[in-house]
Amino acid sequence: MERALEGVRVLDMTRLFPGGYLTTVLAQLGAEVVKLEPPGGDPAREEEPRRQGESYYHWAINRGKKSIVIDLKQEPGRDVVLSLVRQADVFLENFRPGVAERLGVDAERLRRVNPQLIYVSLNGFPEDDHRSARGSHDLNYLADTGVLDLLGPEHGAPALLLSDLAGSMWGLVTILSLLYQRRVAGHPGQPARVVFAEAIRHWAVLQDALFRFAGETRFPILTWPSYHVYRAADGEYLAVAALEPQFWERFCTTMGRPDWLSRRRDPAWVPVVQEVIGGRPSAYWEDLFAPVDACVTVVRRWADAARRRPDPDLPRPNQWPTAVPETLAPPGLGEHTAELLARAGWDAEGRRRLRETGAVG
């Protein structure tokens, strides 16, 4: 069955995780994603560890894509980009402000070649913020927006790149919206900017409203015994999310403690529940609650959960037939250069000259 974005062509000039993750999702949805890489390639290719010479980082975020190597410091390299843009629907970059203009791949220039082009810039801070001209990463956006404070800075950097993921998802929403607008309303393509610090703030919309309404920064439910993570006797953990009365009633019944029923929202009851759960190993609780619909789950170690998933398949969060991901390898550096140049109209002699000058690789 044809996938949702079949026929959509995406040129990805981003580096490392945020753009790579975003365009991986586009590829899963059926788009042709072409990585426009500099000589030497995306730095993601160099990250350790490796398996059979392949970086885990590159493998994670670049499967199912194509790769062409282009030297933008050469005029012929910029001409190659323009030739690819003529056949493209979407172009992504994550340069600091002013860099795309200096390299000749800014929105104004590319959209002169293809007015239908959707041009998306991924940035950490708003363009008019002085910090946008500096280097920054996921942890900086979490820190600046106050989200790291909500997570608990004493625990160090979060294991997930939350700002990058939020920005990637908003980039995806932006691209899909503009593709829809272009197709249904007949609007031309347009430039768009996705700001990662703003994206993670949007994910914290409930915390923001809580603070504005009540001056609080933590949800009251985080203090309730019905929504807590408890330590079992073997050092593993049990996640209890029995928020609604019916779930809490089943939890208390299964625990053999009907006297807890009125304590669903009582913070003082957290240590009481902890004492009981702490008296048995996690396997006991897992077996006990296996047949019970009470929102109780043993906390899996990441390694254990990962071993239960197939390798090397991509996760399948959208379970619908027009978005079935394929098991594909990431591209070799410049693996599709010849193919893409030919499709863009470069004849054999032109391709030879480009390679001789080092404009492509």
Burial class (CB in 10 A: 0-12, 13-18, 19+), 113: middle
Cα–chain center distance at 30 = 17
Q: What is the DSSP string of 216-227?
A: -SS-GGGGSTTE
Tokens representing 161 are: 């790149």
Cα four-point dihedral sign 300, 301, 302, 307: negative
Cα–Cα distance measured from residue 143 to residue 150, given in angstroms and rounded to the nearest whole number: 10
Residue 321 near residue 308 (C-beta atoms within 8 A): no
Residue with the two structure tokens 């197939």: 310
Helix (H) or strand (E) holding 164: helix 162-184
Proportion of the chain in helix, strand, coil states, percent, rounded to 5: 50, 15, 40
Q: Is 161 helix (H, G, I), strand (E, B) or coil?
A: coil
CB atoms within 10 A of CB 63: 20
Cα–Cα distance measured from residue 355 to residue 335, given in angstroms and rounded to the nearest whole number: 13
Q: What is the DSSP string of 34-56?
A: EEEE-TT--GGGG-S-EETTEEH
DSSP structural state of residue 238: E
The active-site residue, picked from 89, 138, 144, 164, is 164
Catalytic annotation on 287?
no
Q: Is 202 helix (H, G, I), strand (E, B) or coil?
A: helix
φ, ψ for residue 250 (rounded to 5)?
-65, -40
* 6 contact partners, CB below 8 Å, separation of at least 6: 30, 31
DSSP bridge pairs for 34 = 11, 66
Would you please indicate which residues are annotated as catalytic (active-site) residues? 164
